[in-house]
A = this chain, B = another copy of it.
Amino acid sequence: MEEVRLALIGYGNVAQGLTQILLDEGDKFARERGLRFLITAIADPLKGSAFNEDGLDLAGLLASVREHGVLRDIPGSSSPNWDALEMIQNSPADVVIELSYTNLLTGEPSTTYITEALRRKKHVITTNKGPIALHYDALEAIARLHGVSIGLEGTVMSGTPAMSLGTDLLAGAGIQRIQGILNGTTNYILTQMESGKSYAEALAEAQAQGYAEADPTGDVEGFDAAAKVAILSCLVLGKTIAFADIEREGITRLSVEDIELAKAQHRHWKLVGSLTLEDGQVKASVRPECLADDHPLARVGGVTNAIVFTTRLMGDVTLIGPGAGRLQTGYAIIQDLFSIYS
């Protein structure tokens, strides 16, 4: 039995989802894979910190956050008052799981955290798009230098294994184009508009359901999808691109009339992130596209995400699944752990 010590930066929804999965499935993973994952340290700027080098009490962590909103009185745990960097420097973790709130334009503070962890020869898993979209090449070079890995399955489509499909399973098939519904919030809004709601009503509904934030700009203007397009370009196509090189248009200019007109023609408006390789150059865009009914993305509704890889050897291969959620994104981290310790 190999014990793997995890240190968590941030203890929000995804971290709690990961905790729940390890609580429910940890024995099964140990039995089937010979791996015991221990959450040994947590640092969250609002909820506090916790440390037990033999593994924190998982049920106690979830109960504490549920009852107090913060990490307090976890059985057997010390509260060292670490911030993220202090935790990276002081805890004996094998893997740092980086789940902080991060600015998409700077990639901070998570890029700093990831860099520090890699330099200390700790594997890093992140579900943050910013550092990967902006700084993957540099981070990967640091990881290679120190003999550790970066797991990032959760940055695109949460635990739906779009990244593994693109970077591993279909990598030899000659991927020429990628098209995806990469943002669940906007797909939910467009699906609601297809059933007759106005944009404002659909957005309000998405906010009420917790799919959209109070300021929905990052989703509805296509910034979130663009970050995922940048990640796919770099990791799957090997072409690093800047945000500025991605043609980007959101869904705010689509009217109910546009949607109705499309419906009458058996077509569907979708916010599509696209990458096309031509003569070794990549063309990248995020924009509303009016898809024919038989397009593999046309019927993907609600918050569901989907991606189509168009390949030379295999033609189109499509993967459809959840793009968010605490257990779903938590499971992306599990996949990264299995991959690092395979």
> When the two chains form the complex, which single residue of B172, B174, B315, B327 contacts A313, counting CB atoms closer than 8 Å?
B327
The 4 A-B residue pairs with the shortest CB-CB distance, nearest first, are: A317-B321, A318-B320, A161-B169, A313-B331
A314 within 8 A of B: yes
A315 touches B322 (CB 8 A): yes
A316 to B305, CA, bound (A): 11
A165 within 8 A of B: yes
Q: Which residues of B contact A174 (CB under 8 A)?
A: 25
Q: A169-B161, A313-B331, A331-B173 are in contact. Are A320 and B296 (CB under 8 A)?
A: yes
Chain A 265-304: CB-based contact to B (< 8 A → 1; otherwise 0): 0000000000000000000000000000010100101000
B169 touches A314 (CB 8 A): no
A131 within 8 A of B: no
A164 within 8 A of B: yes
Q: Which residues of B contact A104 (CB under 8 A)?
A: none
Q: How many Å from the CB of A192 to the closest CB on chain B?
A: 15
A159 within 8 A of B: yes
A331 to B165, CA, bound (A): 14
Q: How many Å from the CB of A151 to the closest CB on chain B?
A: 13
Residue with the highest number of chain B CB atoms closer than 10 Å, among A25, A331, A334: A331
Interface residues, chain A, CB within 8 Å of chain B? 21, 25, 28-29, 32, 159-161, 164-165, 169-174, 294, 296, 299, 301, 313-322, 327-328, 330-331, 334-335, 338
A321 touches B316 (CB 8 A): yes
> When the two chains form the complex, which single residue of B296, B313, B318, B338 contacts A328, counting CB atoms closer than 8 Å?
B313
Q: Which residues of B contact A165 (CB under 8 A)?
A: 161
Q: How many Å from the CB of A74 to the closest CB on chain B?
A: 24
A164-B169, A294-B299, A313-B330 known, 14 other contacts, Cβ within 8 Å: A28-B172, A29-B172, A159-B173, A161-B165, A172-B335, A313-B327, A313-B328, A313-B331, A314-B321, A315-B321, A315-B322, A318-B319, A318-B321, A319-B320
Q: How many Å from the CB of A304 to the closest CB on chain B?
A: 8
Q: Which residues of B contact A319 (CB under 8 A)?
A: 317-320
Q: How many Å from the CB of A174 to the closest CB on chain B?
A: 7
A159 touches B299 (CB 8 A): no
A317 to B331, CA, bound (A): 13
Q: Which residues of B contact A159 (CB under 8 A)?
A: 173, 313-314
Nearest B residue to A238, CB-CB: B32
Nearest B residue to A309, CB-CB: B321
Q: Which residues of B contact A25 (CB under 8 A)?
A: 172, 174
Q: How many Å from the CB of A148 to the closest CB on chain B?
A: 18
A317 to B307, CA, bound (A): 12
B335 touches A169 (CB 8 A): yes
A32 to B174, CA, bound (A): 13
Q: How many Å from the CB of A58 to the closest CB on chain B?
A: 16
Residue with the highest number of chain B CB atoms closer than 10 Å, among A172, A317, A327: A172
Q: How many Å from the CB of A233 to the closest CB on chain B?
A: 17
Q: List 26 interface pairs A-B (beta carbons < 8 Å), by A numbering.
A: A21-B313, A159-B313, A159-B314, A160-B314, A160-B317, A161-B165, A161-B169, A161-B170, A164-B169, A172-B331, A172-B338, A173-B331, A294-B299, A296-B320, A313-B327, A313-B330, A314-B321, A314-B322, A314-B328, A315-B321, A315-B322, A315-B328, A317-B319, A317-B320, A318-B318, A319-B320
